[in-house]
Amino acid sequence: MKQKDYIRSIHRTGRIGSILAILCMLGIPAVMCAAYHMFPTILDLLLFGSGLLAMYVPTSISEVITYVPMLGSASYITFITGNISNLKLPCALNALEMADVEQNSDAGDAVATVAVAVSSIVTTLILVAGVLLLVPLQPILESEPVQTASGYMLPALYGCLFLSQMTSKAGGTVIRGKLKIVALPGLLVLLVHVLVTPVNRGIAILACIPLCMVCARFLYRKGWIRVQHLRGTASPENARQETEAAAAAAADSGKE
């Protein structure tokens, strides 16, 4: 299958899956409301849903902007199945590092898609097993050691995600000093959150994205962060130029 055909098929399948997922999520409540004659009024929806929309709409927009460049076409199944930051994204980043491929590349797109798909299947199997074994395992799940350990699960996941981003050498490219990029945005968010008002996560991310881009460009021009290509690997720009040169040479030889 050609690359263009693959991309078209991925987008077609992803769009169909997204539409079906939305229909299922909205259809089940609609059927229940119709069966029990309890449809809410527009005023009630606006009254009780405005707070949730104000909290989750900025978060949803920020997640699309930040996650899609890392996940590529795997974003479709990622957003359909959920658990992005605590399951799907760490799995994809770990798979990219193990396969030694770069994000936002054809190979990285394929690796991330496989990683997210496997994670979704494993998550579904675990949920099925959890439902079937919930009652037999209830004494163990409610025990003090398990309750104590569960409190460290989310920090451990975020810590793993942070370290993988800071130390990743996937694809043979290393960014030296990239932690400096988040220093100013992180400090500003902390000051606003502590001294002014609690910050919505989605709004904070949307505000920090352009600020991080400006900081990265400034630090790169000053030489305080460096992009290093490891020995034996070519930069993406050089690889693209070599590919174009090889294609042009093949076309010329074909004409002759």
Q: How confident is the model over 170-191, as pLDDT tens digits? A: 556 677 777 888 888 889 988 9
Residue 107 in domain: yes
Inside any domain, residue 125: yes
CA pair distance 147, 141, nearest whole angstrom: 7
Residue 214 located in a structural domain? no
33 has a pLDDT exceeding 80: yes
Count of structural domains, the chain: 1
**185 in any annotated domain:** no
What's the average model confidence in pLDDT over 110-133? Answer: 89
- Which tokens belong to 159? 């810590």
Mean pLDDT of the chain: 80
63 inside domain: yes
- Name the residue range of residue 96's domain: 40-130+146-168
In a domain, 159, yes or no: yes
Q: Is the pLDDT of residue 204 over 70?
A: yes
Report yes or no: 241 and 215 within 8 Å, Cβ to Cβ. no
Instruction: Using a pLDDT cut of 90, give the percent of the chain over it.
Output: 10
Banded pLDDT at 198 (limits 50, 70, 90) = confident
Assigned domain for 225 exists: no
Is 83 part of a structural domain of the chain? yes
Q: Give start and end residues of each alpha helix (H) in the chain.
A: 3-36, 42-71, 75-81, 89-99, 106-133, 138-141, 144-150, 153-167, 183-191, 201-222, 236-255
